[in-house]
Amino acid sequence: MSRLSRKIKEYNEKLSEEKAQPLTACVKTFGCQMNEHDSEKIKGMLINMGYDIVPDYSVTGSGSIPDVIVFNTCCVRENAEDKIFGQLGAVKGAKRLKPELIVVVLGCMTEQEWVVERIKKSYRHVDLVLGTGNTYRLPEYMAARIFEGRRVIGAESEDSVPEGVPMLRDDKFKAYVTVMYGCDNFCSYCIVPYVRGRERSRKADDIIDEVKALVQSGAKEVMLLGQNVNSYGKGKSGDGTDFASLIRRVARETGIARVRFMTSHPKDLSPELIRAIAEEPAICAQLHLPVQSGSTSELKRMNRKYTREKYLDLVSEVRKMIPDVTLSTDIMIGFPGETEEEFADTLSLLEEVRFDAAFTFIYSKRQGTPAASWTDQVPAEIVNERFARLVETQNRISREKNEALEGKALSVLVEGPSRTDPSRLTGRTEGNKVVNFDVDAAVLNERGLNKPEAGDIVPVKITRAETWSLEGVYYGKNAEDP
Ligand code: SAH
Ligand code: SF4
Ligand code: F3S
């Protein structure tokens, strides 16, 4: 624990004795897996500073207002930002009721000049604003606020590769492990490269050590995270290991049962990585490969650096090497200048590839990106109509892909009781599909088997498909032949 964290903790311990109750902190997370994982680190740092983590807060009664509220923000689309400003405004009342409340804003949004200005002017109840590259310095900022009463807004962020940050992991069996930070791709619609900084990689040995420690504490699955994992090791900070070699090392050297990753960019999905997925039993046969559009002309304007044909070739290569691969993608609708023909190309690509799942987004104008200044924005009615057709097409395909799994036995990492029916269990397949399943008690009894528990990897026979999940039953060791 850092010296500063210890100092804050000692101070907080006295305070909590005086108040005769523990000091609490709540972290609100918006955005992608990167942010979810950053929040695990933020919680770890807050615990070291003497706070108990609470899952939620109320802005109405002083009794339930925590001592610290942290907003870990996302700005990839405008609606995320609007929602965050709304919640930030609502906290103003809580601060009136409890003036000692410390409000912290960090994450991607705060890397934009205009956001910092707006917080300075109109959100005066915010105490601390940090960027994506200096989150690990939270204890310094907290010390400035606690010991000097200072408000620190918008200090310079840096392109860091912090190691040794404490973490409170949300899940014992499944863990996120960041392998690289930042993005250098500059797709013409996307704000991520501006708010997450330049690409930089962690050392392979640090990653291996982290996964080994996770395995020791019971983890069964890790997801290696990076905005563009195929650039792993290529930047200045790399140690010469490329992503395919890294993931092979994770699969072979750590004893982890399952490893998956997000996200690789189609322009540099290497044959070595495809081969690694095909060959290493621990690497899940699953790939998230965002296509964005099925139209070569639109892809060119998006600055994606591949064509429709190149993408389709990649998919057939992947399917040839990994026949049972689960494929998912991201699609964007309403990119500036999108014509009906270009949209039709996207729809036909969905039919041709038949993804298991697609995350579909409506284009959102992001200040500072090249596409924001283009004048041929697509009218909302057209975008909405296209979006509905897209979702309808993909939902049908997703359901058909799931139906094709009926009758098969799949290996499932058990997460625990199903949320909707606690007598059943829920878990995920290698393809990362949710399976809700029954356990046949009579059969278990007869075979002398225990009911599976969270963290077990068991065969489940798929009995029925839904659009976004599967239903199944666990019979024991041999689900093929119940
Ligand atoms: N680095 C990842 C994606 C990060 S953002 C990758 O390139 O695959 C996740 C998704 O958000 C993107 O794939 C894209 O489909 C969507 N997205 C990014 N910028 C957007 C914008 N301005 N409007 C709407 N969707 C956007
Ligand atoms: Fe954004 Fe493109 Fe980078 Fe993904 S690869 S984060 S879409 S700029
Ligand atoms: Fe993720 Fe949103 Fe930032 S998608 S990288 S949290 S802008």
Q: 139 C-alpha vs ligand 2 centroid, how far in Å?
A: 30
Q: Assign domain 174-403 to its CATH superfamily.
A: tm_1862 like domain (3.80.30.20)
pLDDT of 2 reads 85
pLDDT of 482 reads 43
Mutate which of 74, 195, 198 for ligand 3? The one with the most ligand atoms within 8 Å of its CB, which is 74
Cβ atoms of residues 368 and 329 within 8 Å: no
- Determine the Cα–Cα distance for residues 72 and 45; give it in Å rounded to an integer: 14
Q: 196 C-alpha vs ligand 1 centroid, how far in Å?
A: 13
Q: What proportions of the chain, in percent to the nearest 5, are helix, strand and coil? A: 40, 20, 40
Cβ atoms of residues 194 and 147 within 8 Å: no
Q: Count CB-CB contacts under 10 A for residue 468.
A: 12
Nearest partner of 342 among 302, 282, 286, judged by Cα: 302
Structure tokens at 381: 């009615």
Scanning the structure block, which residue is given the tokens 């404490």?
166
- Determine the Cα–Cα distance for residues 31 and 17; give it in Å rounded to an integer: 36
- Determine the Cα–Cα distance for residues 105 and 84; give it in Å rounded to an integer: 10
- Determine the Cα–Cα distance for residues 127 and 348; give it in Å rounded to an integer: 50
CATH code, residues 409-474 = 2.40.50.140
Is the CB of 145 within 6 Å of ligand 2? no
- Determine the Cα–Cα distance for residues 181 and 330; give it in Å rounded to an integer: 20
Any idea what DSSP says for residue 283? Answer: B
Beta bridge partners of 427: 414, 435
Domain ranges of the chain: 3-153, 174-403, 409-474
Is the CB of 292 within 6 Å of ligand 3? no
Q: Do domains 3-153 and 174-403 have the same CATH topology?
A: no
Is the CB of 68 within 6 Å of ligand 3? no
Determine the residue type at 26. Answer: C
* Phi, psi (deg, nearest 5) at residue 427: -165, -175
The number of the ligand nearest the C-alpha atom of 360 reads 1
Q: 118 C-alpha vs ligand 3 centroid, how far in Å?
A: 20
pLDDT of 443 reads 81
Is the CB of 84 within 6 Å of ligand 3? no
pLDDT tens per residue across all 482 residues of the chain: 788 999 999 999 999 999 999 999 999 999 999 999 999 999 999 999 999 999 988 887 656 899 999 999 999 999 999 999 999 999 999 999 999 999 999 999 999 999 999 999 999 999 999 999 999 999 999 999 999 999 999 767 888 888 888 999 989 999 999 999 999 999 999 999 999 999 999 999 999 999 999 999 999 999 999 999 999 998 767 788 999 999 999 999 999 999 999 999 999 899 999 999 999 999 999 999 999 999 999 999 999 999 999 999 999 999 999 999 999 999 999 999 999 999 999 999 999 999 999 999 999 999 999 999 998 999 999 999 999 999 999 999 999 999 999 999 999 999 999 988 888 999 999 999 999 999 988 888 888 888 899 999 999 999 999 999 999 999 876 545 44
pLDDT of 161 reads 87
Residue nearest to atom 5 of ligand 3 (CA): 192
Q: 161 C-alpha vs ligand 1 centroid, how far in Å?
A: 23
Is the CB of 326 within 6 Å of ligand 2? no
Is the CB of 107 within 6 Å of ligand 1? no
Scanning the structure block, which residue is given the tokens 């200045």?
236
pLDDT of 438 reads 94
**Per CATH, which fold does 3-153 belong to?**
Rossmann fold (3.40.50)
Structure tokens at 180: 């690289």
Mutate which of 111, 227, 269 for ligand 2? The one with the most ligand atoms within 8 Å of its CB, which is 227
Scanning the structure block, which residue is given the tokens 């399943």?
437
- Determine the Cα–Cα distance for residues 131 and 109; give it in Å rounded to an integer: 8
Cβ atoms of residues 147 and 110 within 8 Å: no
State the DSSP string of 358-403.
EEEEE----TTSGGGG-S-PPPHHHHHHHHHHHHHHHHHHHHHHHH
Is the CB of 364 within 6 Å of ligand 1? yes
pLDDT of 259 reads 98
